[in-house]
Structure 1
Amino acid sequence: MADQVAPPPYEEPIELSQRRSEGRKVQVIYCPPRKLSLVKLGFRTSAVVNSLVLLGLSIGITAFGDRNLGPIIWYGVMCGIGLIWSISDLCCYFSRKGRRSAHPGAAVTLDLLLWMPLLAISCVQVYIPGNGGYYDESDGYGSKSLSIWMATAAFGFIQFGLHFILFVIACYETNRRRAYEREPVTFVEMGPNGSILYPPANFKVVQVYQNDKLYNLQLADCQTYETRV
């Protein structure tokens, strides 16, 4: 069974578990470049903050006298699930070596299950007041409550957009990961100075094996790769 070597933080070396790995098969695993990781971090953090705002607005609708508990139930469930998932993803990012978030396959599934209901709920949230569903001036549902109702719908659409963008990024990463998992590479002995790690076909090595430490492999397409030795 091949040993697994976790990727280091950016520009930091990995200590190999075995000093001599030449001749053994190495599998190259796609890891997102730093810029893409920071973009995901920004969207995921925004999703956490927006979930809290959305949940507060949903509670505010009831606080202003509206008897409809729909927004609290709809958005409460989605915000709860979204908060658990987003916080878990952020914990993965800050706890794993190499600043990696959760597996992209998990992100595809969970963000898909979040953005689809959020889109439907937000559309219903806009539809109800405009068609007289629960809106009745004589029943105490005044302009302030209506403003909060529409603000809730607006933040619902924002939350939908955040999870949809994260879903698209996860789909891209999943596709890239599957492509690079099929590309084997090999340590080749180069004499007393150590070994060189050959990348997949059509790529060019920029950093190589130095002083018994395997540096994050930077290839010609500016992607960063994890290696399993």
Structure 2
Amino acid sequence: MTAQPPQTIIPPPKYVSSPSAWRSKLVMRAWAILCCIIIAGVGGSIAALDGVEGDFMLFLGPSIAVPFIWSVAEAICIWKRPGNRGIHPGAVVGVDLIIWLGLGFVHLVMLATGLWFRPERLIEGYYYHNGVYRGYHDRDDFDKEELAKIDELSDKIQGRGRATLTFLAFLALTHFVLFVVACCETHKRNRMPKMVYVVQQPMYAPEGNGQQQYPLAQYPQQQYYAPQQQYYAPQQPIPMQSAVASPVSGANPVVQAPTGPARYA
């Protein structure tokens, strides 16, 4: 019995998105990257205005840095990995969930600061704190010249602030859609059949007379030997010994044994 060659175990194919699915994800990642760039540019232009407090950038900066880095990493994986497979769907579910929830929180905070309805609250000196009272000034507290400057600056802040909040909402919505897509892919991935490795016990050949047991894969091969013909030289005939009569009369003759080894005629 010959030993069988080892067989290569081929694992089941991994889940691969369809061409339309991975192209859609790539487009949404590119759109998310573009939104981050626009938000950073417009928000930075607001903070760069003279007389504007840039404290809101403490919330806005990290909220666009994390989605930007994550979207770039996911887009590279989709574009370069075999089968256009991105990062593991389970990781995408967790990260995109945190991102769109965080963006929603930042959006509410920026709305609360008045970036959409009360942009004058971002102007320096409009908020007061005298140790006892704190709050925002009324318009009656300023003269006409100061009110003109405040109104001009408020218009610039309001236009750019609304653009920032709009693209911030688009960014949160994009990551929410990517979160839903990742949940669907994770569900499909978990339903795929999994590969189970079973260790097969070695099978032994039946034990013969005085033979050692070998596994079937290691059982020694049986070899065939042709029967050898043996040649025997012809033997010389051995003469029979004659009987010698006993000197005693009437006795049976005694056969003298040869000196060499016994032979048969």
Fold shared, TM-score > 0.5 on shorter chain: yes
C-alpha distance in 1 between matches for 2:170 and 2:43: 15
Deviation track 1:154-178 (CA, whole Å, cap 9, x = no partner) reads 1110110111111110111111111
Task: Say which of 174, 180, 187 aligns to 2:186.
Answer: 174
Indicate whether 1:37 and 2:37 are aligned: no
Are the structure 2 counterparts of residues 105 and 76 from structure 1 closer, same or farther at C-alpha, using a change threshold of 3 Å? same
Considering fraction of residues, name the structure with more strand.
1
Q: What is the RMSD of the two structures over their aligned residues, measured on CA atoms?
A: 2.4
* Residues matched between the structures, number: 164
Are the structure 2 counterparts of residues 78 and 150 from structure 1 closer, same or farther at C-alpha, using a change threshold of 3 Å? same
User: Which residue of 1 is the match for residue 94 of structure 2?
Assistant: 109
Are the structure 2 counterparts of residues 32 and 147 from structure 1 closer, same or farther at C-alpha, using a change threshold of 3 Å? same
Task: Say which of 130, 155, 169 aligns to 1:143.
Answer: 155
Alignment-mate amino acid for residue 178 of structure 1: N
Between the two structures, name the one with larger relative contact order (CA 8 Å, sep ≥ 6): 1
Unaligned runs of 5+ in 2: 1-6, 127-145, 197-265
| Mapping 1:81-96, distance limit 5 Å | 81-96=66-81
Query: Normalised by the size of structure 1, how large is the TM-score?
Result: 0.64
2:183 partner SS: helix
| Mapping 1:123-142, distance limit 5 Å | 123-129=108-114, 130=117, 133-134=121-122, 138=147, 140=150, 141-142=153-154
Indicate whether 1:80 and 2:92 are aligned: no
* Residue identity (%): 25
| Mapping 1:2-81, distance limit 5 Å | 21=8, 24=9, 26-65=11-50, 67-81=52-66
C-alpha distance in 1 between matches for 2:36 and 2:61: 9
C-alpha distance in 1 between matches for 2:94 and 2:52: 34
Deviation track 1:173-204 (CA, whole Å, cap 9, x = no partner) reads 111111114477xxxxxxxxxxxxxxxxxxxx
Q: How far is 1:66 from its partner?
A: 5.1
User: Which residue of 1 is the match for residue 173 of structure 2?
Assistant: 161
Higher Rg: 2
Q: Is the 8 A contact 1:107 1:170 kept in 2?
A: yes
1:70 partner SS: coil
